[in-house]
Structure 1
Amino acid sequence: MTRVVLALDSFKGSITASAAAEAVRDGWLSQRAGDDVVLRPMADGGEGTLDAFAAAIAGARRRPVTVTGPDDAATDAAWLLLPDGTGVVELSSTSGIEVLGGQLRPWDAGTVGFGEAIAAALAGGAQRLVLGIGSSASTDGGVGALTALGARFADADGAPVAPGLRGVASAASVDLAGLRALPPGGALVLSDVSNPLCGPRGAAAVFGPQKGLDAAGVVAADAALARLAALVADAAGPAHPGPATPGAGAAGGTGFALLAWGAALVPGSAEVAELIGLDAAVAGADLVITGEGSYDDQSAAGKVPAFVAQAAAAAGVATALVAGRIAADADVSAFTAARSLTDLAGSAEASLADPARWLRAAGTALSRTV
């Protein structure tokens, strides 16, 4: 009997991590019914992080909250209260790119809703915070989030800056004196990338285009974030870790802003893996299957598949990859086999229309070949 561990991330905007794992399991068992297939849905701080904590921790309670979305409209979301008093807040459901429904707002989307949800968790009694910051819609340097928590960002005339990157570009002063205090247990930020705030690997250069920035916009955004970094560093004092800190560029620079608040940045995949007992599951496996919606050249920088592959390799276990699409420039050498739903379905449109069907097909294909 073969033991297979399924540790997939969500396929962003398409199917949850749990449902994706279940579909691959069904495909595998359709050919190898006697195998032991273990589900360990993963997350890395982006979409699905709240669900991963809710599924893994008995007694976790969802607390609904209405926040200002990245389109400035009221958005229904939730934060999670764990039995030990930890509040879990996910940026993707409050200020995420999926909230926009495909309508990008590169200059105007912001993170104020994420900050509002954090404030709600503090008001709701959270004694510690775990903040997932993947899948953002904006490149606002976390200005919106800090504003919702009491910071003040003003333009040259002393007026509050506009939401989003447009406001970052006009910021002339930063006052952090009004920031709410961290909860007694502090704040842990789960980042799905290790990029710095600025430069060729920074928030604007790497992630700006997927949020709608053109080439000129990327240059302008990077310059605006660099100016913001200097202003925040002056306001925060020498203790601020700085814009070069790994993960500072996560979520359009929200990682940098949360550092200014005093939070600690950690790789999200590692925290979730510890929570769900991934190492113990992998140790007894013959094969691990991981995946995500789009596997590309960014996936090695803290995303779930790369992390899972490393954990499996450390245990001497082979890993296979399933992804909605596998980019031409992606390095898949860490995987024994790789399957793209786009290739199986014949097109991206077909795979997105029924991801569960093609995930089952991927599970079936892997069961025959791995």
Structure 2
Amino acid sequence: MNYWKGIFLGIVISIPGLGFAQSNLDAVLNSIAQNNKAIAANKQYWEARKLAFRTGLTPENPEMVYDYMRGRPASAGNQEDFAVTQTFDFPTAYAKKKALSKEQIAQTEFQAAAFRQDILLEAKLSYLEMVYLNKQKAILARRLKTSESLHNDFQKKFKQGFANILEVNKAKIQLANLQNELRRNESQLKLNSEKLTQLNGGSAIVVSDTLYPTLAQIPVYEKMDSLVEVNDPILKTVKQQKEISIKEKEVTKALTLPKPGIGYHSQAILGQKFNGARIGVTIPLWQDKNKVKQKEAEILYSELQIHNHRTEHLHEIKALYDQYESLRLGLTDYQSLMQAVHSDVLLAKALRLGEISTTEYFMELTYFYNSYDNYLALEKEYNQVIAELYKFAL
């Protein structure tokens, strides 16, 4: 029993990805954050929106009017009118507009962060897929080498009369299967490499890692949920929208107050000239009717949106955390299971020594390959689920 444990430990140590390594993940994500065209375009969009939110905080443009009217008959003389008028919102409106602008600009940061995180999570998942495919490629290459050697041995034995055609065909089928698996693997590597290149703005990214990034200690669910919620830019965006709606209501109220206007008016007629100050007021009786009620309804909508997002967030994080727990237990189970599975090297040795039949060899080898392939897939899913849980940190 100790002998097999020693063999298993040797196999585990030789398996890529079961140790710790300095990963290139950070360098890949930093490059994509700088070069991704969608992130750059989104950033520029929000910069434009910030400028829009800073617009309209000052009084309206002054109005200048000049009238020249020719009199008839000619003895009636001509008339000239000139007026300059400046209209103001009610004084408190400007402070409230500025406060609204500040809240709107703050929200753009959360929206930009959410967009950036979506792109970087996509890149991170693709990177982890590349690590998985690199590990798989190394394993398939080793299996193919073993299968080629076995196939040659069976062909020699068949010519010498020590093997039958069924054994040769089994070796041939296994060889063909492994060749096809390796081709599929290389195709998937190419697709993922192209995807990372596209995310990197067209600049090629080479990922040769066969070790996953070292994982931090995952806290218990309650702490994990709180950690995600505090840093969730989507929730921050929704909460900020409520603040914006409140400020918009305050601005709307201020705009329903009378608007004073001052100016200068000059009039010339029949050789006489008159000039002086012009004072007026705009009384908002009908134009802004129901606008305050509209903003109150929008505040209520924002509150419902916050509640809805929290509910969705709770179930989403719970589902991811449950998946993480399930995958973690599955990995532990597979590691225990693999202790009872002989490696292809040991099986090949047993076959050469006549300790097992050809049929037993291929059955045990298939069992070992399937178990290890499932382990690799489980390990990838485990790392990807943790990446989704820590999306907020990107």
TM-score, normalization by structure 2: 0.22
Higher helix share: 2
User: Over alpha carbons, which structure has the higher Rg?
Assistant: 2
Which protein, 1 or 2, shows the higher relative CO under an 8 Å CA cutoff with sep ≥ 6?
2
TM-score (norm 1): 0.23
